[in-house]
Structure 1
Amino acid sequence: MIYVFYIVLTVFVFCLMEAVTWFTHKYIMHGFMWYFHDDHHQPGYPHVFEKNDFFFIIFAIPSILLFYFGTIDGVNYLLFIGLGILFYGIAYFLVHDVLIHQRFKWFKRTNNTYLKGLRKAHKIHHKHLGKEDGECFGMLFVPKKYFKM
Structure 2
Amino acid sequence: MNTVLWIVVFLGTFLIMEGMAWFTHKYIMHGFLWKLHQDHHKKDHSSWWERNDLFFVFYALVSIGCFLGWKYAGFWLGLPIGLGILAYGITYFTVHDIFIHQRFKIFRNANNRYAKGIRRAHKMHHKHLGKDDGECFGMLLVPFKYFKK
* TM-score category of the 2 structures, normalised to the smaller one: over 0.9
User: What does the per-residue CA deviation read over 1:17-76, in whole Å, with 9 as the maximum and x for residues that have no partner?
Assistant: 011111000000000100000010015863211111111111111100000111225571
Point out the more displaced range, 125-134 or 47-56: 47-56
- Which 4+ residue blocks in structure 1 deviate beyond 4 angstroms? none
Whole-Å Cα distance in 2 between the matches of residues 44 and 68 of structure 1? Answer: 37
> How much identity, in percent, do the aligned residues show?
57
- The residue that corresponds to 1:108 in the other structure is 108
User: Which residue identity lines up with residue 36 of structure 1 in the other structure?
Assistant: L
Mind listing any 5+ residue stretches in structure 1 that lack a counterpart? none
Q: CA RMSD in A?
A: 1.6
User: Which residue identity lines up with residue 28 of structure 1 in the other structure?
Assistant: I
Q: Between Structure 1 and Structure 2, how many residues are aligned? A: 149
Whole-Å Cα distance in 1 between the matches of residues 68 and 128 of structure 2? Answer: 39
User: Which residue identity lines up with residue 112 of structure 2 in the other structure?
Assistant: N
Matches within 5 A, 1:26-41: 26-41=26-41
TM-score, normalised with respect to structure 1: 0.94
Matches within 5 A, 1:30-109: 30-42=30-42, 46-72=46-72, 76-109=76-109
Mind listing any 5+ residue stretches in structure 2 that lack a counterpart? none
TM-score, normalised with respect to structure 2: 0.94
User: Which residue identity lines up with residue 55 of structure 1 in the other structure?
Assistant: F
- The residue that corresponds to 1:16 in the other structure is 16
